[in-house]
Structure 1
Amino acid sequence: MAALEPAGSFKPALLVVDLQEDFCPPEGSLAVPGGREIAPLINTLLSLPFSLKIATKDFHPQDHISFETSHAPPNNRPFESSVNISNPSETSQSHEIPIWPVHCVQGTKGADIIPEIDVAKVDTIMEKGKDRRVEMFSGFADVFGNKSSQATNLDLADRLNSAGITHVFVVGIAGDCCVKCTALDAKKEGFQVCVLEEATRSVDTGEKGWGAAKEEMEKAGIKMTSADGPEVERVKKLP
């Protein structure tokens, strides 16, 4: 858990979630509508005096369990089919995950952060979803809540705590999936969390997608705010 901070303490981090080629039009295999449109705003945010700036990216092996190519037809239709996976740490536990098109495979262009993002302003790039056996939407843990060096190159909570971070600002793709899961886990880890709405894009922009995601986050105590809101103004005033 994040350490208790003195009243008024403010040391913010920016998490840029999965701004990758395969999640962006026009050629991404799992493209989120408007994904590239948020790059200029995210670059503006990266220019602000956040104490730490981290970009996450999916970094899957070729045979990842969520891929359509890892399952036999007819039960491997992307966006329609699902599969039950076992918890690598406790095989009696299972979790149902969607089947996806092949995406963000290690060593491919699809796994790259889009060139519109100024990665020179990012302190750390975190690779997640590296364990073929398990899905990992959040930057903090897999769908079972496990933190494993097989699945990621970085313990995100440890990195934030080591830097003394108190507040986490989350942006990126997709708002109704990886952004939501990362924000929820950041809150569970004890950080104050803000999601900047206009700096996210979702697969489903309707009430069952982004609408439901916002409701879930707000119920968890996450602040849905704007890049023009008082929270970001507070960042701008930092030395």
Structure 2
Amino acid sequence: MSRVLALIVVDMQNDFCLPDGALSVKDAMQTLPLINKLLDSNAFEYKVATKDWHPPNHISFASNHPEPNNKPFESFIEMKNVVAGKPHETMRQRLWPRHCEQGSRGAELVSQLHTEKVDLIVEKGTDERVEMYSAFSDSFGNATEGKGGVTHDLARVLRDKGITDVCCVGLAGDYCLNYSALDATKAGFKTYLIEEGQRCVDPQTWPKVKEGLAAGKVEVVSESSEHVQKLLTS
């Protein structure tokens, strides 16, 4: 069977990329040359960009919780799976600075990104009740297209386009990019993540994240690999 490729560029937004971003990821802008080369490539049948698109009352914002349990990066809450009507199911959720609020400058894709080459923009994390790192589902595995969680059922869109393989880059390597790549494999796509096309909130976690990606059948590849070089020169 012939392979049909899609590119997923995760959350290259001002709040994550710019030095003054609310949740700035160190050296995030250094990934742009590679990501733009991939967007310019003819190797991909379909190209997707994702955006965090949070309402002001989102559960992950530390400022939406009372003291003393409201310190960004440090505090955690027990989040309930209310989206699926299963509040007895809970998950430990890290709290973040207020970021990527709907309609804000911080939520915009960085201006240097070749967005004219993007076929679809997926807005995610729009349900205030639950965190959504992955572009495919919320943290409990619910894909709530049109119900407040995400604007598109990305797995269905890709299948409808005949996609077999997915290449993932973007931010952050230890959160949204990581979970998007893992969910792509769960959805049945052969999934690659280009190491130089990511940066982490906590760079020290990357070796452990790579182990988790490998365990989840995501192939982490280098920009210098033959596979990626073929993509860049197509």
Q: Which runs of 5 or more residues in structure 2 are unaligned?
A: none
**2:37 touches 2:232 (CA, 8 Å); kept in 1?**
no
Cα deviation, residue 232, structure 1: 2.4
Q: Percent identity?
A: 43
Tell me the amino acid that sits aligned with residue 204 of structure 1: D
Q: Give aligned pairs, total.
A: 229
Q: Output the TM-score relative to the length of structure 2.
A: 0.95
Q: 1:220 aligns with which of 199, 205, 216?
A: 216
Q: Indicate the residue corresponding to 1:34 in structure 2.
A: 27
State the superposition RMSD in angstroms. 1.2
Which of residues 33, 40, 50 in structure 2 aligns to 1:47? 40
Match of 1:124? 120
State how 1:147-226 maps to structure 2 within 5 Å. Answer: 147-148=143-144, 149=146, 150-206=148-204, 209-226=205-222
1:99 aligned onto 2:92: no
Distance 1:134 1:99 in 2: 12
* Equivalence for 1:3: none
Partner of 2:142: 146
CA contact (8 A) 1:25 1:34 kept: no
* Deviation, structure 1 residue 169: 0.4
1:194 partner letter: Y
Could you tell me whether the CA contact under 8 Å between 2:173 and 2:199 is conserved in 1?
yes
Q: Any idea what SS the aligned residue of 2:38 has?
A: helix
Deviation beyond 2 Å, 4+ runs, structure 1: 230-238
Matched AA of 1:35: A
Deviation at 1:236, TM superposition (A): 5.3
Please state if 1:63 is matched with 2:57: yes
Q: Residues 63 and 69 of structure 1 are in contact (CA less than 8 Å); yes or no, is this contact kept in structure 2?
A: no
Q: Distance in 1 between matches of 2:113 and 2:11?
A: 11
Map of 2:70 onto structure 1: 76
Equivalents in 1 of 2:4, 2:17: separation in Å? 31
What TM-score does the superposition give when structure 1 sets the normalisation length? 0.93
Between the aligned partners of 1:227 and 1:169, the Cα distance in structure 2 is: 12
Kindly indicate whether the alpha-carbon contact (under 8 Å) linking 1:32 and 1:201 is maintained by their aligned counterparts in 2.
yes
